[in-house]
Amino acid sequence: MKNVLKNQTETITKEIVKTGSCCGSSSNISETASLLNETGYPAIRSTSSGISLANRWDHLMARLGVKRGQHLIEPGLYTIGKPTKESPVFVSANYTLSFDALRSALHGNDCYILVLDTKGINVWCAAGKGTFGTDELVHRIEAVGLNDVVNHRTLIVPQLGATGVDAREVRARSGFKVEFGPVRAADLPEYLKTHKATEEMRRVRFTLSDRIVLLPIEMIYILIPVLIASAIIALIGNYTASAAVIAATFSGVVLFPILLPWIPTTDFSTKGFLIGVLMALPFALNSFYGMTDGTLWLRYGWGLTYMLIMPSISAFLALNFTGSTTFTSVTGVKREIFTYIPKMAGMFGIGIILVIVLTSMRILGGV
C-alpha cells in the first residue's frame, strides 16, 4: 500500500513542480520540497490561522461565483502551530471558505486539520452529496497515515457534516472515534475547553447577514438572462412589462432571502408566491387604472397577466434558494418540487399565452 501511495504522491509532486503551486487558492500554506515524508506517506503541510488579503480576495470571488470550481485546496493533513502526537485533529472540506473559517477559528491552538476531497464543496453541501462522507474520511485517514501521526484516536468533525459521516462505521473501519463539534467554527475555542457542545452551539442559525452574503452569487447567475429578457421586451415597446420582469426577479432573488423568516408560510414556494403577488399588485393596478385608452376586458387581461407571471417567477426563484439554506431538507425540497413546479409552470404558461394574445390583438388593431 505504501508503494501505491508513494507512486501517487510522486505524480502529485511532479504536477506541483510543473504548476508551481499545491493549491487552487492561497491559504497561507507552506510549500515543501517533496510531498513524501520518511514513512512514504504524503508529507504534512503547515498553514496558519491568519487570513491574508489574497484569502479575502478568494472569498469574494467565491461569493460572486467567479471560477467556482477553483476555490479549493489540496486534500491531506495540515498543521497549525507546533502540534504533538497528542494534539487534536479537526476535519474540514477542501473548499477554501470552509478551510479558512476553521483555521482562523483555531488561533493560538497547536493542532492538525485533515482535509477531505469534497471537490471544492462546503461541508454541509458535500455531506448531502456524499463527498464529505464515511468512505472519504476513512480513505483520507489511511492516505495520510494518521495512525502514525497521533497517539489518540479522536477526530473532531463539523456538526453539519453529520449527515454524511457514520461515526460507528468510521470507528469500525479506521479505529478513530468521531466527535461532532459545534455548528460554527467560531465556537471551537470554547468547545475545546470541555469538548462538550452547548445547546446554543448545536443550534443552526440562518441570520440576516448569513442570507445577505448569499445574494451576490444568486444574482450573478440570473442577472444576464434577466437583463436580456427585459431589454427585448423594452425594445418591443412595453416598458412596464420590462420593469415587471426585473421586479419579479428582484422579489425572488433579493427580497425573499431578506424577508425569509417573517413570511407567514412554511414552504419556500408559497413564501415566494406571496412576495410575487405583492410585487405584482402595483403593475396590475396600473394596467387597470392606467390604460385609459383600452377596453375594460383588455385592462383586466393585462392585470391578470402580471398576477400570473410575476408570482410564478418569484416562487420559482424562492424554491431555487432551498439549496442555499439549512432551513430545508432533501425530502422537503422534493415534496415542494412535485407539489408546486406544475402549478408555477401552469400559471406562467397561461400568462405567456395571454401576453401573446393581447399583444397580437393590439398590433393587429383588434382592440
For β-strands 76-80 and 111-115, DSSP reports them as: antiparallel
CA distance 123 to 225: 30
Domain chopping of the chain, boundaries = 2-204, 210-363
CA distance 31 to 44: 10
HSE, side-chain direction, 13 A CA sphere, residue 109: 22
Do residues 175 and 152 touch, judged by C-beta distance below 8 A? no
pLDDT at 16: 34
Per-residue confidence of the chain (367 residues) as pLDDT tens digits?
A: 444 334 433 333 333 333 333 344 445 665 443 344 555 667 889 899 899 899 889 888 888 878 877 888 899 999 999 999 999 999 999 999 999 999 999 998 999 999 999 998 889 888 888 889 999 999 999 999 999 999 999 999 999 899 899 999 999 999 999 999 999 999 999 999 998 888 888 888 888 888 888 888 788 878 888 989 889 888 877 788 899 999 999 999 999 999 998 999 989 999 999 999 999 999 999 888 877 666 778 888 889 999 999 999 999 999 988 876 766 777 778 888 999 999 999 999 999 999 888 888 777 765 5
Do residues 36 and 6 touch, judged by C-beta distance below 8 A? yes
**Tens of pLDDT along 179-214?**
999 999 999 999 999 988 888 888 888 888 888 888
CA distance 139 to 168: 15
**Residue carrying C-alpha cell 418591443:** 236
pLDDT at 151: 94
Q: Is 262 exposed, middle or buried (0-12, 13-18, 19+ CB in 10 A)?
A: exposed
* CATH no. for 2-204: 3.40.50.11600
